[in-house]
Each structure stands twice: as C-alpha cells, then as structure tokens.
Chain A
C-alpha cells in the first residue's frame, strides 16, 4: 500500500503558481528525494503534505485516509513528522526537553493530572524520558542532553531536529535540507543516519541540494522545476535525464 499519495496538487500564491499538477507517491520504508533548483516548490510541497498549506486542487492521502483539511498536529499523530529548513528548535529548553515535548504528541495526560501529580502522569513522564534518552543515544546527542538547545553547534541542532521528529513515532519522516550548512564529515554522518532511520522501517522524504547525499541514499527521486514535476525515477536514470540536466545546468547551446 502506498504510504503517502499526493495526486495532481496545485497551489498558487496570488498569481504565482508555486505548484502545478504535482503528483508524488511514497512507499513504506523507501527513501524518496525531492530535488530541484531554488524556488522549484520543494518546501511548498512539504508544507502541503504536512497540512500547513491547503492545496487548491488535488488529493492527498496518508495511510489511505484523506488528510486535506486536517490540522498539522493531527497529521503528525497519524505518523508523519518533519524537520524545518530554517531550524526551529525550542531554543531556551534543554536538548532532552525538546525531545520529550515531541514525545508528548502521544500524551494522554491533561494539565489537571499534571498539577495533581497523579501516578499515571508520573508513569508517562518516566516513559517519555526514557524514550527521549534512547533517541538521543541513537542520534548521538547523549552527552548534550542537559545543554540548552540554542547553544548547540549548527550541525548538532540539525540532528536534534531529526531526533525530535523521531520522538513522535513517525512512519514517514520529512527532512528539509538536513545537510545545509554542514561540513563533509557531518554530511557523511547524516547519510549514515538516514540509512539507519530507513533500517528501522520508516520512510523518508528528503529535500536536499547536495547531490552526493541524494545519489547515495535515495531509492527514488522526484525533480521539480518552477512548480512542475519534470522527472521521476531511480537515481541512475534521473541523473541522465535531459530535462533535469537542463534545469540544473541550463540549456546546451
């Protein structure tokens, strides 16, 4: 069964068609990359898929259910998590708390139980704490657990964003330019991390400019240019596609 199915999505802002007739299908457990020049509509597509924007045309289903019109938090609860291109951590909170907050996506405790400190709330707090510590271990941030999130170096902040997204127990995780601003060593670690996430059976939708990363990790690539899909397929085919080469390098004279 297709995990995420976006069909003929169109969205324009004023007179600008940010997306026109874009379709995208993601299978469970695959790493799917979304590439294209700046302004191609990649992040817009992310925002449509996570229900931050509502498309003007098209259908969008996740795990077989229509998600158009849902609120972003409802989509996250269904099993879709994301990171942001411009890092959006909870800056003044600790690294550990950032992940715990995301785990609260599955919380059943209300503020009243928290005020009274009920046993159920304490059990849940313990459970989330352990889950968050495990995730920090997985992502390699254990030693920074008690640091303030905004004090982390840039590369680690990006990794923390991924840990936070994973804490919501997603089936599909959307990464928006996770290697932006990273050096080569950090990029290599990230490629490894994406492979590990995939090994846990989660699907990944990746926006990325670094072709080394894209060619390395993707099962399938979708190429956007000026809001339109111009190519789709496995990395080896997309890399040779004349339309893709034209969009990236300009037309041959």
Chain B
C-alpha cells in the first residue's frame, strides 16, 4: 500500500468515527447539529496540547481529549432541551464558531498558526481498530431497548415524553456520546497529520460530516459508513482519472451530491432498517404537494 493510499485509509477511518457520532445525534435522535467539527476540534486540540506540552502518552491524551469533547457535548446538550429543528441547528453552529474563534485567539492553542510538531502516534491499525470498535459499540446501543428510546425521541418527542421517557436525558446522552466519538476522531487526526490549526473547526467541516451522514441515510449505521467512505474517497479518485476531471473534481463532486439526493432523498441506506416503506424517486414527486411518505403509504 502506498503512503497515499494509506493516508486515504486513515482519513476515512477517522471520518467514520466522527460521522458515527453525528449519526447518533442527528440520524437516530433527530437533533440537527451543525457544530460537530467543534467537538472534533476539542478532541484534537486537547490531546495535541497534552502530548506536546505535557508529554503525556498518546493513549492517555486521546482519552482525555475525548472526554473533554464529551464535556463540551454536555454543555451543548442543554440548549437542546429548549430548542428544536432549525433553532437547534443555529445554536450548535454558534458553538462550532465559538470553538473556532477561541482556538484562533487563545495563546495556548497557538492562534492562527495552531499547534505544530505533534508526535506521530496514529497508525492504520489504531484507526481501523477504533473505527470497528466505535461501530460495534454504537450498533449494540442502537439494537438494544435503550437505543430504541433514542429513535422514539426522533419519531415523536411529545409522545416519548408522555410514555415516561426522560427526553431531556436521552438528548443529552446522544450529544455526549456523539461528542466523545468526534473527540476520539479529532485526537487521531491531530496525531496523524501532526499539525492542527483553527481551520479544522470550521463550519464547512461540520457540513462535510453532516453530508456523509445524510448521504448514507439518516438512522442507518451501514449507511453512515458507506456515506463517509464515498465522500472521503470520491474526491481522491476523481483526482486520479484524467487532468480534465481532476481540474473540475470539486464541481463533479457537488453535482454527484445533488443527483444522489434527488434520486434517493432518504440517503443510500435510509429506510433499510425498516424495509417495508416503499421508496418513491424524486422525479415522480415533482410538482406534487404530498411528501414521499404520503405516496409510499398508499
């Protein structure tokens, strides 16, 4: 395996871990979050500071970084008790921006320059192992009766509350677990690239991860992995086809996203968990007022 291929593999694995976290928050619990890069950044910065400034071993730094991200998830989780949908999205977006601006202006984070000379401690085996572990743990949660309470909050929060579920607690749990996942991913990233700056906390990074989850299908674990692999590998594949395609690869990438969303608005694997709902392609819906769901139910 060439170094280039290895890099794609590692970045895919890191994105998978981060996207799985967002999948729990947005895909399964239904809380739209636009600040996922914020959690990723907390994990990256804290772990990098610990290994460079405090000379802690990588494993310990990774754990502390992940838990710091989890703590941030707890803080962000509280607004979700009052905010829904678009309003929550704006609040989480604000959180991501605060993290970016903090990293940009604090002395300890190195300002716009960031942190350099981070020890190289992330190996392909580490990433693959952690990605598989992250997947299995989340699958265990989602398949359990406890996991169904997360989905119930997504399906109908009022009904879930009336059935005696502490929906506030469920939502905060989702944010904390999702943030820990992003924190692990951030720590791995920092110790692979060996250089981080505030751009990893940018809004576009959050959107990128959200695209992976949505493309794969909200509420599907295999979908999240597939979406992540496709969105991480495709830009690289386009780069190597021909010079012409390479030049326009970002445009092609964008067009691919639009086409995919038109043809499968529920995502690649969306609805796979509950197969019985019939899929209606987008072009049959043009000019109609009913949703895909109404038509599928006929």
Binding site for B on A (CB under 8 A): 50, 52, 71-73, 76-77, 81-82, 84, 88-94, 97, 100-107, 109-111, 113-117, 121, 124-125, 128-129, 147-148, 150-151, 164-165, 167-168
Q: Considering the chains assembled together, what is the distance between the CA atoms of A153 and B91 in angstroms?
A: 40
Contact with A along B165-189 (1 / 0, CB 8 A): 1111000010001000000000000
Which residue of the partner chain, among A148, A151, A168, contacts B163 with CB atoms under 8 Å?
A168
Q: How far is the CB of A143 from chain B (nearest CB, A)?
A: 15
Q: How far is the CB of B218 from chain A (nearest CB, A)?
A: 11
- Contact B146 A111, beta carbon cutoff 8 Å: yes
Does residue B140 face the partner (Cβ distance < 8 Å to A)?
Answer: yes
Give every chain A residue within 8 A of B140 (Cβ-Cβ). Answer: 114-117
Interface size on B, residues (CB 8 A): 33
Contact with A along B204-227 (1 / 0, CB 8 A): 000000000000000100000000
Which residue of the partner chain, among B162, B166, B167, B274, contacts A82 with CB atoms under 8 Å?
B162
- Contact B158 A114, beta carbon cutoff 8 Å: no
- Contact B138 A101, beta carbon cutoff 8 Å: no
With a 10 A CB-CB cut-off, give which of A88, A113, A114 has the most chain B CB atoms: A114
Binding site for A on B (CB under 8 A): 137-138, 140-141, 144-149, 151-152, 155-156, 158-168, 173, 177, 219, 273-274, 276-277, 297
Which residue of the partner chain, among A72, A92, A116, A128, contacts B162 with CB atoms under 8 Å?
A72
Give every chain B residue within 8 A of A164 (Cβ-Cβ). Answer: 163
Which residue of the partner chain, among B141, B161, B276, contacts A114 with CB atoms under 8 Å?
B141
Q: Considering the chains assembled together, what is the distance between the CA atoms of A72 and B146 in angstroms?
A: 19
- Contact A114 B144, beta carbon cutoff 8 Å: yes
Q: Which residue from chain A places its CB closest to the CB of B138 in the assembled complex? A: A115
Which residue of the partner chain, among A88, A121, A125, A151, contacts B159 with CB atoms under 8 Å?
A88
Q: Considering the chains assembled together, what is the distance between the CA atoms of A90 and B148 in angstroms?
A: 10
- Contact B162 A90, beta carbon cutoff 8 Å: no
- Contact A115 B151, beta carbon cutoff 8 Å: no
Give every chain A residue within 8 A of B161 (Cβ-Cβ). Answer: 71-73, 76
- Please give me the 8 A-B residue pairs with the lowest Cβ-Cβ distance, nearest first: A105-B164, A76-B164, A114-B146, A90-B155, A88-B159, A114-B144, A102-B163, A115-B137
Give every chain B residue within 8 A of A73 (Cβ-Cβ). Answer: 161-167
- Contact B148 A104, beta carbon cutoff 8 Å: yes
Give every chain A residue within 8 A of B159 (Cβ-Cβ). Answer: 84, 88-90
- Contact A81 B163, beta carbon cutoff 8 Å: yes
Known: A111-B146, A114-B144. 17 other contacts (CB 8 A): A77-B164, A88-B156, A90-B156, A91-B155, A92-B219, A100-B145, A100-B148, A104-B146, A104-B149, A104-B165, A114-B147, A115-B138, A117-B144, A121-B144, A121-B146, A164-B163, A168-B164
Give every chain B residue within 8 A of A76 (Cβ-Cβ). Answer: 161-164
- Contact A101 B276, beta carbon cutoff 8 Å: no
Give every chain B residue within 8 A of A52 (Cβ-Cβ). Answer: 158, 162
Q: How far is the CB of B56 from chain A (nearest CB, A)?
A: 24
Q: How far is the CB of A209 from chain B (nearest CB, A)?
A: 22
Which residue of the partner chain, among B148, B160, B165, B177, contacts A97 with CB atoms under 8 Å?
B148
Q: List 19 A-B contacts (CB under 8 A).
A: A50-B162, A72-B161, A73-B163, A88-B156, A89-B155, A92-B277, A93-B155, A94-B274, A101-B149, A102-B163, A104-B148, A111-B141, A111-B177, A114-B144, A117-B144, A124-B145, A125-B145, A148-B276, A150-B297
Q: Considering the chains assembled together, what is the distance between the CA atoms of A92 and B167 in angstroms?
A: 18
Q: Considering the chains assembled together, what is the distance between the CA atoms of A164 and B277 in angstroms?
A: 22
Give every chain A residue within 8 A of B146 (Cβ-Cβ). Answer: 104, 107, 109-111, 113-114, 121
Give every chain B residue within 8 A of A88 (Cβ-Cβ). Answer: 156, 158-159, 162
With a 10 A CB-CB cut-off, give which of B151, B160, B164 has the most chain A CB atoms: B164
Give every chain B residue within 8 A of A148 (Cβ-Cβ). Answer: 274, 276-277
Q: How far is the CB of A77 from chain B (nearest CB, A)?
A: 5
Given contacts A84-B159, A88-B158, contact A93 B165 (CB under 8 A): no
Give every chain B residue within 8 A of A103 (Cβ-Cβ). Answer: 145
